[in-house]
Every structure is written in C-alpha cells, then in structure tokens.
Amino acid sequence: MSGPLLQVRDLHVSHRIGRRSLPAVRGMDLDVAPGEVVALVGESGSGKSSAVRGITQLIRPERGSVLLDGTDLVGLRGKALRRARRDIQMVFQDPYSSLDPSMSVAELIGEPLIVHTAQGRAERRRTAVEMLEMVGLRAEHADRYPHEFSGGQRQRIAIARALVLRPKLVVADEAVSALDVSSQNQVLALLQELIAELGVACLFITHDLAVVRQIADRVAVMYLGTLVEQGPADVLFDAPQHPYTRALLSAAPVADPVVQRSRQRVRLTGELPDPMNPPTGCVFSSRCPDAIARCHEEAPADRRPRPDSSVACHLVEADPALQPSLP
C-alpha cells in the first residue's frame, strides 16, 4: 500500500455553546489510503459529524493536523483552502436541504465546475448531463428542480455533484440514512460502483452496521470523540477487540431469527457521558461491562493486536513486535 491519501493526526474539534466550549472530537488519528473506503461508525453524539466537519474544514479544528496528499488543510485559509477543496468533496445526510431549491439540476452539478474549472456554459452543461447519466438519471432531468425528485434521486444528484470534479476523496456524512431502505441499497450500490470505477477514496460516516459491512474496506469505531478501535472490516466484524465494538456489533440484529434468539448479547447500560465532563481514565469506563480498576484511572494508549489494526483498551494484548503504537 502506498502512503495514505488522508492523514488525520490528533484532531480536536470543539463547538462553542455560549461562553462554554463543547469538545466533540478529542484527539483522533485516522488514515485513508488512495481508493480505500473507510467507515467511521459510532452512536449519535459520538462526534462523527464533528470529526467530518473538522476534516473538511467546515469547522476549524482546535488542534491537530489534516494532511491531504501531504498538504495540511488546517493551516490553509481563503483561496488556498478553497483550491484544496477540489480534492475533497462531500455528500450530506439530508438530500432535501443540501440542494439549493432555486437552482436547476444542471446548475447544481455545474456549480463545482464554475468554482474550479474554466469550463464555459455549454461545456458545463455537457459535463452535468454526463454525470446525470452516470448516476442513473436522464439528460432530460437536467432542467428540473430539486423539489421534483424523490429522496433517492436527489441523493444521486448530490453524488453527481460530489464526483464531477473527480476528487481524490469523497466524504459521505450519513449519506443514505435519510432514505428509505429500498433506495438506500440502490444509492449505496451506486456510490460503491462509482468510487470503485473512478478510484476515489471514501470516508463513509454511518451508524448503520449493515451499511458498513456492504461498503467498507476498513472500519473506525468512534466513542465520545475518540477512536476506540480501527481495523480491516472483516477482522473487526469477526473478532472485535474493544468491549464497545463488541457491544455495538451485538446491538445490530441478525436477520435469522433462530440465530438472533440464541445470540449472546452484550448490553450497555446508561447514556453516552456528557462530553463536557468525560469519565476519568478510559472514556468507555463508565459503561464498560469488563472495566477493571485501572480503566477508571488511566486512559489506555492505542495498542496493535495486528499490524493493520489498533485498539484503545487495557484488556487487549498487543502484539509485542508491533509496539509502540502507530507509525
């Protein structure tokens, strides 16, 4: 594998609430290789969306670095930042509000071209129509307005908009969770097909594990603003290491009722702790079924049970050959 396309190091993102500041992401390290699909999972309030906004600079991170192809986005301002955005495009959760209702479909898909290319009007339109056909819509849809389309169709338009510049990375923030299940599968399959075809890397944010299984090469599990475990999708699903990952996986139902009934489930009690007042020691210690005394006192460092995965838990044995932690 070549060097990572996206390299996030020690990312901290906070929201300002009046005078106070709410730390939503607290020290996140994440790599995405070129062409790789990485899923970022976690329950509501775990900081997934804040992490995404920190990475894409929609919120300026408090601390840390976000290297895209070697350039640190965090330091960029104004024109340089806008230029860097060409390579990192987004698909948003709600296709009903992410498309400007006063613009036609051709204008919406053409907007990135106006900003980043010198294409003329006719050429932009040609490109937009090409993109429309690529996402399974027709040329005659180009002059319609977003309100004339269904949710799934709108998300296709949003995908066309995100891919029209052929970016290196697409960040999809819960891109299918606002859709009903049947269009969810279609849109997901389309996204998967297109990013594979164009060789685009994808950071896919979701709380839906079924979606992760379908699309992801690697998975990163987020809890209370930090990554507790990351690794290849099949390894993580088959042998989850962190107690939180195990709980998350066992919360997802299995389609076979016989298996479902006989499963040993790890149940979590309580709510996600207040991010303004996180537990001492390990962030998960307040809800962890396996917590020992050490967990309440000392935050665990990332350890690596395998060369391609890392877990932040005192109870996980690291492969001694692989310490100390991430390269």
Partner 1 sequence: MSVLPTTRTVVESPRRRFVRRFTGPWANRFALLVLLVWLVAAVAAPWLAPYDPLVQDIDARRLAPLSDGHLLGTDALGRDTLSRLLYGARVAGLAAITSVGVGLLGGLVPALLAGLLRGWWDAVFSRIADALLSFPPLLLALAIVGVMGPNLTNAMLAIGVVFVPRFYRVVRAATLAVREETFIEASRSIGTPTAWILRRHVLPNVLSPLAVQISLAFGFAILAESSLSFLGLGVQPPDPSWGSMLSEGRAAWFYTPWPVIVPTVTVVLTVLACNVVGDGLSDSVGREKGRA
SS3 content of the chain, % helix, strand, coil (to 5): 35, 20, 40
Query: Toward partner 1, which CB reaches closer, 101 or 320?
Result: 101
**Cis omega (within 30 of 0) for bond into 324:** yes
Choosing from 43, 62, 72, 111, the residue that interacts with partner 1 (CB under 8 A) is 111
H-assigned helices in the chain: 48-55, 78-84, 105-116, 121-134, 151-163, 181-198, 209-215, 233-238, 243-251, 257-262, 293-297
Where in 127-146 is the site for partner 1 (CB under 8 A)?
A: 135-138, 141, 143-145
Query: Toward partner 1, which CB reaches closer, 89 or 241?
Result: 89
Would you count residue 50 as binding partner 1 (CB under 8 A)? no
Would you count residue 47 as binding partner 1 (CB under 8 A)? no
Smallest Cα–Cα separation from 154: which of 186, 199, 122?
A: 186
Query: Toward partner 1, which CB reaches closer, 111 or 208?
Result: 111
Q: How far apart are CA 214 and CA 193, in angstroms?
A: 12
Would you count residue 300 as binding partner 1 (CB under 8 A)? no
Q: Which range touches partner 1 (CB under 8 A), out of 38-46, 85-93, 226-234, 256-264?
A: 85-93
Phi and psi dihedrals of 215, rounded to 5? -115, -25
CB 216 within 8 A of CB 38: yes
Query: Toward partner 1, which CB reaches closer, 19 or 147?
Result: 147
Where in 170-229 is the site for partner 1 (CB under 8 A)?
A: 186, 190, 193
Give the pair of three-digit tokens for residue 273.
């702790």
Residue position matching structure tokens 């990163």: 220
Q: Which range touches partner 1 (CB under 8 A), out of 12-20, 86-94, 225-233, 281-289?
A: 86-94
Choosing from 43, 72, 94, 208, the residue that interacts with partner 1 (CB under 8 A) is 94
16: number of Cβ within 10 Å: 9
Choosing from 10, 21, 75, 115, the residue that interacts with partner 1 (CB under 8 A) is 115
Q: How far apart are CA 186 and CA 273, in angstroms?
A: 36
Q: How far apart are CA 116 and CA 290, in angstroms?
A: 52
Choosing from 14, 46, 50, 98, the residue that interacts with partner 1 (CB under 8 A) is 98
Kindly state the smallest distance separating residue 248's Cβ from partner 1, in Å.
27
Give the pair of three-digit tokens for residue 298.
């000392």
Would you count residue 54 as binding partner 1 (CB under 8 A)? no
Would you count residue 269 as binding partner 1 (CB under 8 A)? no
Would you count residue 308 as binding partner 1 (CB under 8 A)? no
Would you count residue 150 as binding partner 1 (CB under 8 A)? yes
Smallest Cα–Cα separation from 272: which of 244, 305, 230?
A: 244
Q: Which range touches partner 1 (CB under 8 A), out of 1-9, 76-84, 234-242, 295-303?
A: 76-84
- Which residues of the shown chain bind partner 1 in the complex (CB under 8 A)? 56, 58, 81-86, 89-90, 92-94, 96-104, 111-112, 115-116, 135-138, 141, 143-145, 147-150, 152-153, 158, 161, 186, 190, 193
